A and B are shown apart, each in its own frame.
Chain A
Amino acid sequence: MPLWTLRGLRRGIVTTRYPARPDPSAALLPTPPVFRPDVLTPGLADRLVAVCPSRALARDGDLLVFDVGACTACGRCRAEAPHAAGDSGEFELAATVREHLVKQIPLGGRSA
């Protein structure tokens, strides 16, 4: 089918070079949050836990327990406290052990 062949040749190659080279389209992807321990107080942590719809956040005493595996990158925690939760920019999140995805963030902030 010359029609398709010509079109294909004209179109050229669009295939990503990943993993040999980083792919610029990754910059558009929604990613899980990073948290600022120096700003997180127990009260703020509890607010973040309450706002997460996927149960990715829990508080264990002085730690905010963040389950990256349960996170959907919906952004509700970042909207709730933009000074305490930012964008990680990480999309390479595959883990060989489920616990590698569960992070302990210390609550280092001081209540006002």
Chain B
Amino acid sequence: MTATQPGLADEPRLRDLLSVFGQDGAGDEPVITVSAPVADLSAAVRRIAAHPGARLADVFVATHETDGPVTLRLIWGLDADRRYLVSESLIEGETYPSLSDIVPGAFTEECEIYEQFGIRPANGRPLNRVALPPWAGPDWPRLGRAPTEPPKDVHAPHHVGGHAFEFPFGPVRQVAVESLYYGLVTSGEELVDLYLFTWHKHRGVEWRLRGMTPGDALFYVERTEGLGAVGNSWAFAAAAEAALGLEPPPQAMAARAIALELERLYNHAAATAALCQSTGLVIGQAAAEIALERLLRLNAAVFGHRYLFGVVDIGGARADLDAAALRGDLPAAYGELERAAEALLSTNSFLDRLEATGILAEEAARRLGLVGPVARATGLAADTRADHPAWPYGEFPLAVAVADAGDVLARFRVMLTEAAESVRLIGEIGRTGAGPGLALPPGAGPGQAASSGLGWAESSRGESLAWVALDDTGRITRARLRPAAVRNWRGFDDACRSQNVFTDIPIIEASFWLTVAGTAR
């Protein structure tokens, strides 16, 4: 897939879509905002969902009102048109037209919105708990107003011949993994259903960011999901920069991109190690861990931190980049991963555990709006670096790694292909001259009116989105963080169901390589 020019403003198909919202053209802007009055919302959602290459990327309430109307925002990735479409609807009462009736994947967001803002879809279907515990009463801290009735948990109906029993697992699980709480439904060995709870780890990051400057908020955004620090902080910084009208200097964008690819590399190495551990291949795990450790030391040598904290800053990049260390150590570090992968792909007992395990169909990935390697392994060729390129990604051709079996092995292969591609990209981007730089000296803020912006980055787990609204002093009135894990966990139960057994769960979890922190934020 090669890079094409930005600014396909006059694509008739896109103009057609925008005319529905009373707009006659997109210009060159990568983000288009339209207004969708609530009376027309269902029709609008249907229309956008039918647009080729459209993907519902996020749904959230854009304001913190505890009474009065709230603004419902839908973010669509129009991947084939290389645009994001943001629709806004003002919701006056307690209900709004159901989105999940048209886009089933929106159910999670409908649940989250009900819990935090008290508004619900008009179809009256029961909603699940997402971020708050069962005993959260009306005084529990929320982003908006409390719902009038607590959510009732609803799960997929179980179809199993004979008896099935249900039991909760976690949140304290195996050693050195995050706490995660899920309900398992089984008829003995076969996994009939699996549903996740993440409220045990919900830290209220969006709640905490209110009133902070983007610079102060960045510290928390990085630590929302430490294994996705670069991807998530890039998305957030880009959102703040869009709101403030800042354009980071090219060398800083190049530094960000190198850090993002390094993050992708070490995460894919870590996922390889986790896959080996889950299948009991200790020696493969050791080989992958050698690669992982070398990559983390590379990060420390190049950017001063093993997990690349402190690289991204509002307006650019803060950390010095040691280009010599990068050139010197990257080939050997990646070589460890390459050799380990080669050996793994020749180990049949390992491949047997991966093949046909945790199958996710392309239709499911599309319906649920999944992103990243998990989606690409089902055949969906969406990659933010190719579809919504921020410099320097648009400059260099990017081969988007795709597979079609949708199983654990396919996800593993996609990660390995991406790792090779990341090494190549780092070389190319490095040649453009990467280093620290900021669009504006820290502490100075341009005089401005209240503003908002959308930011994105292709983290190792997939598209990470952020949306930020600032008041006229430059402080956050609403920060929306949507790491890739938020989308992809909803595919985990689909992948685990049917034809899989308990011992497959850790294998499937390793192949998704998500974090609980990324969704329980």
Contact = CB atoms under 8 A, between A and B. Distances in A.
A–B in direct contact per CB < 8 Å: yes
A4 interface: yes
Contact of B346 (A3, A8, A29, A74): A3
Interface string B175-216: 000000000000000000000000000000000000000001
A8 B290 CA distance: 11
Interface residues of A, number: 17
7 contacts: A1-B283, A3-B343, A8-B287, A14-B290, A25-B300, A30-B305, A74-B310
Given A3-B343, A3-B346, A28 B219 contact: no
B300 A28 contact: yes
Interface of B: 216, 219-220, 283-284, 286-287, 290, 293, 297, 300-301, 304-306, 309-310, 318, 339, 343, 346-347
A4 B309 CA distance: 35
Given A4-B284, A7-B339, 4 more contacts: A4-B287, A11-B290, A28-B304, A29-B306
Contacts of A3: 343, 346-347
A11 B336 CA distance: 10
Contact of A28 (B216, B220, B297): B297
A75 B313 CA distance: 13
Contact of A1 (B297, B310, B347): B347
Given A11-B290, A30-B304, A74-B309, A53 B297 contact: no
A53 B216 contact: yes
Chain B CB within 10 A, most for which of A8, A53, A75? A53
Contacts of B293: 14
Contacts, number: 43
A42 to B, nearest CB: 20
A89 B276 CA distance: 35
B309 A7 contact: no
A75 B284 contact: no
B297 A25 contact: yes
Contacts of A7: 287, 339, 343
Contacts of B306: 29
A26 B347 CA distance: 35
Nearest to A10: B339
B219 A53 contact: yes
A83 B284 CA distance: 48
B213 to A, nearest CB: 11
Contacts of A1: 283, 347
Instruction: Name which of A8, A28, A53, A54 has the most chain B CB atoms within 10 A of its CB.
Output: A28
Interface string A48-65: 000001100000000000
A72 B318 CA distance: 16
A74 B290 CA distance: 26
Nearest to B286: A8
Nearest to B281: A4
Q: Which 4 interchain pairs have the tightest Cβ spacing?
A: A28-B300, A53-B219, A4-B283, A28-B301
Nearest to B289: A14
Given A3-B343, A4-B283, A8-B283, A74 B219 contact: yes
A53 B216 CA distance: 7
A63 B257 CA distance: 42
A72 B309 CA distance: 10
B338 to A, nearest CB: 12
Nearest to B346: A3
A29 B310 contact: no
Nearest to A7: B343
Contacts of B318: 79
A7 B290 CA distance: 13
A14 B287 CA distance: 11
Contacts of A29: 300, 306
